[in-house]
Structure 1
Amino acid sequence: MLPSTSNYLLKNGRVPASLLEMKSIAPSASTVATTGTENNFCAVDVEIAAGTIAQIIPTGTEPLFPIADIPIMDLCNGLVLPCFVDMHAHLDKGHIWERSPNPDGTFASALETVCADAEKNWNAEDVYRRMEFGLKCSYAHGTKAIRTHIDSAGEQGTVSLGVFEALQAEWGDRLILQAVSLVSLDYFLTPAGEKLADRIAEIGGILGGVAYMNPDLGKQLDRVFSLARERGLNLDFHTDETDDPESTTLLEVAKTAIRHKFSGQIICGHCCSLAVQPPDLVTQTLELVKAANIGIVSLPMCNLYLQDRLSGRTPRWRGVTLLHELKAAGIPVTVASDNCRDPFYGFGDHDVLEVFNMAVRIAHLDRPWEDWPRTVTKTPADLMGLPNLGKIAVGLPADLILFKARNFSELLSRSQRDRTVLRQGIEIDTTLPDYRELDDLLQEDSAVETAAIQTKPADAG
């Protein structure tokens, strides 16, 4: 337990070097791996005063200015991280698995099942309670900011964006929330699409949608870029969430951005087909993505779940985009949670540490570690326009996560449910919400699901 005061010293902590904004503090020799993997940490003491990081001192050295007689908490070489930033979620879809499971685990079935569930169940109360459940989980796990895509077409968009606004206001003292519109891009060629752009501008959101290969893709992209420029909005697209090498919507987004000389921030998510395209096309795409100043967010857990899924056949690839190649090309790359316990991904708990843990395994981010911890902290914060988040520096709020783990191997080998989360230096309650909170929303269809499972043929998956 932390001292019950706003002024205290965290002693003998370890901060990943890539997340510490004090380059004068070098990684300690005792924290540098001998295997060439750059498993580097800075051994520091952190003084917290009135909710702010007042001093960061290399462990074992004299402070820059005297520290008052304050309580000391010895972290025993445990890790200290900034709070997480989750820049691609779908809070409005979350936690419907019990009433609307994906029957075969495919993308097509996920889309069909979610649409059916939305049509039947997504009133304001249902969306509000499921979204808030997700926020409770994120907050308890140590997330500070979330960007969520919201299904925005028609009346459902009116309902869900209204719910988002309410939650954004109610949770404003705990979480920074950003909303992205989610429609197919042809929607923006209609009067309803222009009204949606106005609505997104009204709530300070991000204009977004799903790009897919079709004869009118160029016209659709031109329109959405024009709408965004006219309203001063940033853009966030779903691109190439497929294993089809002919899907090149990321490339088309980059070309359009350059043609429009677009100065706002552009994010492209998924980009799965990039991993199965020929090298010359990959090189061309990366060059244009870099020139267009596009940031990339990979969703490793959801894409691992959906991509290359065929009944009775072991998947041959992981669905993750070319994270190493993108990063080497100087393109900002992040990883994020995406869907949670819905037909697009049947698991998850809104824990960004789990996202990073899985990304390390799926995309081999560990040899060397380099600055990969930034993919869930500093880089998404910067791309979301939140420059004071995702890093540890003097003068910033003491929004920190304390772990008993002393290195990445320990951090990523256990669940870390005993982590301590600080907000402005105060320890928060990290108790997760009980799934039973949503039982009354889900129980009506649970009996139907159970009966379907019991009567399903053994070879149906």
Structure 2
Amino acid sequence: MNNQQFSVISNTSNYWLKNAHVPVCLIETDSEIPSQTKESLSLINIEIKQGIITQIIHSSADLPSLTTEDIPTIDLKGGMVWPCFVDMHTHLDKGHIWERSPNPDGSFNGALDAGARDAEKYWNAEDVYRRMEFGLKCSYAHGTKAIRTHIDCFGEQENISLQVFQTLQKEWEDRLILQPVSLVTGDYFLTQAGEKLADKIADIGGILGAVPFMSSDVDNQLDKLFSLAKERQLDLDLHIDENGDPNSRVLHKVAEQAINHQFTGKIICGHCCSLAVQTPDKVTETLKLVQESGISIVSLPMCNLYLQNRQDNYTPRWRGVTLLHELKKQGISVAIASDNCRDPFFGFGDHDVLEVFNMSVRIAHLDMPYGDWPGAVTKTPGDLIGLPNIGRIRVGLPADLILFKGRNFSELLSRSQHDRIVLRNGRVIDTTLPDYCELDDRCRLGFATQHEKR
């Protein structure tokens, strides 16, 4: 399978994709999808007309249109087809600063310090725009359709970064759905500046976000946060317990506040790492509250694996991720996302959600069986961020699909799938990734500063 095969449809918008292996959990149809493989895949044919999925039939059935019309057919030979990705927790404004502001010791505190210094020195409108745009180019080329990004909003940075976000949101509206989330510490909302930020987020149709740390006034912070969100009818998306301290139980407190406030908006809690090092009794207690409160969890396995439990000359003893299987077993919605990319919090990444899924399978044992885990980077995050028609394959939806050569999960996750084909509205898009040299002038800012220090 390659782009040349799709030259046959360059002059038509009606065609069949034949013999496509698709995770059954990502197919929505009124009729039963038979013949699942042991990996819960089904071999199907997909008809696309005018950019819309018009038929989904099992591969053993005849292709009805071929009997009456001369419609091109592309045989995928068992290659997997997924809907476009939903990356529901990113930090586009931080991305691609590693060369000028690396994390000196790889720790969480080191990341905080390096990120803060970089923002103070360099984050003007041009810098934020260029780096965020680079991230969007990567995401789009890899097959992502919707992105939720947390944006640092302390002080004057609020106006700079949110304005850049709105510019990019408009420029990319025909390619990517973008959602903004404020990112400040929880105590910021106890100030007048925090209330003004909540007003701003409401004005631009964003989501209220914060990082409430375990402290003596965490209850006051959360109470204020829920009150502001209720008054402005905002959803919440919070960074919670991103550490390995068993006494950090902010997730438990968020659930309590949600119940006390009878909060009806959506609540997403990201990270929740400390849950994995707490006692079974405390875990059970928290999971019951999380389920009762309607909170959903997004895990960021790559970043948490990188940062958590890092110490000098010490081999990490745990993986840093939250209790994905236990949360899901409790009936709590769980999604997976990419988080940071080439910044002090994670020095790697390319905004490729397939890589995120690939690494998550290994880190959190999401195989044996794979079950409906493919939904954690497609269908589930689509639902959680209010996009119920994205991240699934259904008749009547746009043909926004990713076509892989890998015919099963072992093949899919053993190679990078850099040769994937991405369809948007049934058309093949250019999947050429932006060259790193596009950001050379931004990186040199840091090199110049480091040279001056020497």
What range describes the TM-score normalised by the shorter chain of this pair?
over 0.9
Task: Rate the CA distance shift 1:67–1:10 in 2: closer, same or farther, 3 A.
Answer: farther
The 10-residue stretch of structure 1 (209-218 or 238-247) with the greater mean CA deviation from structure 2: 209-218
**Offset, 1:319:** 0.1
**Offset, 1:380:** 0.3
Equivalent residue, structure 1, for 2:37: 32
Instruction: Determine whether 1:8 maps to 2:8.
Output: no
Whether the 8 Å CA contact 1:27–1:40 is kept in 2: the answer is no
Q: Tell me the alpha carbon deviations over residues 69-102 of structure 1, each in whole angstroms, 9 at most, x when there is no partner.
A: 2111110111110000000000000000000000
Q: How many residues align?
A: 446
Task: Rate the CA distance shift 1:14–1:154 in 2: closer, same or farther, 3 A.
Answer: same
Letter matched to residue 273 of structure 2: C
Cα RMSD for the two superposed structures: 1.4
Equivalent residue, structure 1, for 2:383: 382
| Moved segments of 4+, more than 4 Å | 63-67, 447-452
Gaps of 5+ in 2: none
Whole-Å separation in 1 of the counterparts to 2:51 and 2:233: 34
Letter matched to residue 257 of structure 1: A
**Offset, 1:215:** 1.0
Whether the 8 Å CA contact 1:150–1:161 is kept in 2: the answer is yes
Whether the 8 Å CA contact 2:181–2:209 is kept in 1: the answer is yes
Letter matched to residue 370 of structure 2: W
Whether the 8 Å CA contact 1:25–1:58 is kept in 2: the answer is no
**Offset, 1:450:** 8.2
Q: After superposition, where does 1:302-451 map in structure 2 within 5 Å?
A: 302-446=303-447
Gaps of 5+ in 1: 34-38, 456-461
Whether the 8 Å CA contact 1:27–1:41 is kept in 2: the answer is no
Q: Tell me the alpha carbon deviations over residues 214-262 of structure 1, each in whole angstroms, 9 at most, x when there is no partner.
A: 1111111111111111111100000000000000000000000000000
Whether the 8 Å CA contact 1:9–1:72 is kept in 2: the answer is yes
Whole-Å separation in 2 of the counterparts to 1:283 and 1:395: 41
Whole-Å separation in 1 of the counterparts to 2:90 and 2:117: 20
- 3-state secondary structure, aligned to 2:358: helix
Whole-Å separation in 2 of the counterparts to 1:67 and 1:197: 58
**Offset, 1:40:** 1.5
Whether the 8 Å CA contact 1:78–1:405 is kept in 2: the answer is yes
Q: Tell me the alpha carbon deviations over residues 108-157 of structure 1, each in whole angstroms, 9 at most, x when there is no partner.
A: 01001100000000000000000000000000000000000000111011
Task: Rate the CA distance shift 1:448–1:152 in 2: closer, same or farther, 3 A.
Answer: closer
Whether the 8 Å CA contact 1:81–1:401 is kept in 2: the answer is yes
TM-score by length of 1: 0.95
Equivalent residue, structure 2, for 1:116: 117
**Offset, 1:7:** 1.0
**Offset, 1:60:** 2.4
TM-score by length of 2: 0.96
Letter matched to residue 119 of structure 1: E
**Offset, 1:26:** 2.6
Task: Rate the CA distance shift 1:279–1:64 in 2: closer, same or farther, 3 A.
Answer: farther
Query: What is the percentage of aligned positions where both structures have the same residue?
Result: 67
Instruction: Determine whether 1:22 maps to 2:34.
Output: no
Q: Tell me the alpha carbon deviations over residues 366-420 of structure 1, each in whole angstroms, 9 at most, x when there is no partner.
A: 0111100000000000000000001000000000000111001100000000000
Whether the 8 Å CA contact 1:57–1:64 is kept in 2: the answer is no
Equivalent residue, structure 2, for 1:57: 57
Q: Tell me the alpha carbon deviations over residues 409-460 of structure 1, each in whole angstroms, 9 at most, x when there is no partner.
A: 10000000000000000000000000000001111323665899xx9xxxxx
**Offset, 1:42:** 1.3
**Offset, 1:27:** 3.9
Task: Rate the CA distance shift 1:78–1:447 in 2: closer, same or farther, 3 A.
Answer: same
